[in-house]
């Protein structure tokens, strides 16, 4: 078994006819949410083709089995390397992962026939092939939106720490909420890199991360604009010296924001783009300091 969630398990398999390994996701038929996500994956990702998306090879819904078959990713998920093993991803690999994720989002948001809002971009959904190329997976929460349409009201779903403030408070998911999640993933830099990195690349990626994870969705860039800055095709944006931070108040079960860390009575806390912590930024001097939850940051461990 490669992994297990609340209503699904993922197993390693082998296809003799193609002499290749596969990942098989088995969905529990007892879970209504699992069945919904199975249908969403088949409906959406089966139609998508991009080098930075995990390819869905096939599916099965016979004999009370719900199975999704994907290409096998030898290096597992990004969160495994960041939080579960002593893996030292070099700066070139980290930068390549961020670029690959951005490329996948650009395809979903602008290049395909409809806009695909992923809704659950996080390090555990970023898979790594044998060459550490990033491939975005898990489209169970994804929604199709016409390119000329705005945000869509949905049932609140996603992962706390990666979810944009407006998604938490209104339930509306959009391209901008995906961009926010990308910013969380791309924002921070691993202090263990020491001097083993390209300073300009670090600066560009860190500032783009802060820009994308701006609490105000009107101040975020499109993924096209973010890619241009990351690839040195556009100048760095000018960010406020002190970025605004949304604050939510949680009152047990009656709250507009459900804290994954403290469910005991009133609890006021701040959500930052890399979890719970502080950051300041400007176009010339950007720093990030975050007490991140162990599932929020891509490049900071």
Separation between Cα atoms, residue 114 and residue 288, nearest integer Å: 35
Report whether 286 contacts 237 (CB < 8 A).
Answer: no
List the domains of the chain with CATH numbers. Answer: 3-71 (3.30.200.20), 78-291 (1.10.510.10)
222-254 exposure pattern, b = at least 16 Cβ within 10 A, e = fewer: bbebbbebbeeeeebbebeeebeeeebebeeee
The pLDDT of residue 195 is 63
The pLDDT of residue 6 is 55
| Contacts (Cβ under 8 Å, ≥6 apart) of 5 | none
- Catalytic positions are 120
Least confident of 95-109, 190-204, 221-235, 240-254: 240-254
Separation between Cα atoms, residue 56 and residue 79, nearest integer Å: 21
The pLDDT of residue 110 is 94
Of 74, 63, 72, nearest to 24 (Cα)? Answer: 72
Separation between Cα atoms, residue 249 and residue 258, nearest integer Å: 9
The pLDDT of residue 123 is 92
Report whether 90 contacts 192 (CB < 8 A).
Answer: no
Reading the block at residue 133, the tokens are 């190329």
**In this model, does residue 168 exceed pLDDT 90?**
no
Question: To the nearest whole number, what is the mean pLDDT of the chain?
Answer: 78
Q: Write the pLDDT tens digit of every residue in 37-91.
A: 888 889 898 999 999 999 999 999 887 788 999 999 999 999 888 877 666 788 9
């Amino acid at each position: 078994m490669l992994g297990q969630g609340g209503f699904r398990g993922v197993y390693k398999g082998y296809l003799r006819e193609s002499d290749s390994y596969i990942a098989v996701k088995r969905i529990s038929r007892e879970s209504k949410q699992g069945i919904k996500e199975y249908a969403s994956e088949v409906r959406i990702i089966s139609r998508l083709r991009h080098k930075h998306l995990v390819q869905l090879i096939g599916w099965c819904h016979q004999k009370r089995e719900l199975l999704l078959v994907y290409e096998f990713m030898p290096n597992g998920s990004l969160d495994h390397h960041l939080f579960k093993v002593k893996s030292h991803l070099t700066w070139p690999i980290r930068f390549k992962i961020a670029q690959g994720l951005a490329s996948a989002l650009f395809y979903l948001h602008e290049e395909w026939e409809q806009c695909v809002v992923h809704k659950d971009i996080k390090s555990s959904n970023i898979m790594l092939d044998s060459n550490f190329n990033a491939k975005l997976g898990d489209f169970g929460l994804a929604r199709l939106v016409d390119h000329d349409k705005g945000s869509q009201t949905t049932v609140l779903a996603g992962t706390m720490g990666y979810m944009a403030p407006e998604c938490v408070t209104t339930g509306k998911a959009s391209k901008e909420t995906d961009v926010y999640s990308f910013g969380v993933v791309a924002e921070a830099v691993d202090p263990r890199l020491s001097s083993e990195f390209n300073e300009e690349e670090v600066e560009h990626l860190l500032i783009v991360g802060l820009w994308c994870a701006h609490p105000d969705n009107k101040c975020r860039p499109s993924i096209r604009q973010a890619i241009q800055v990351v690839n040195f095709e556009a100048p760095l944006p000018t960010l406020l010296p002190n970025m605004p931070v949304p604050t939510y108040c949680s009152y047990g079960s009656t709250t507009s924001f459900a804290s994954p860390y403290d469910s005991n009575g009133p609890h006021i806390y701040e959500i930052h783009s890399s979890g719970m912590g502080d950051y300041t930024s400007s176009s010339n001097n950007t720093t990030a300091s975050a007490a991140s939850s162990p599932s929020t940051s891509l490049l900071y461990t």
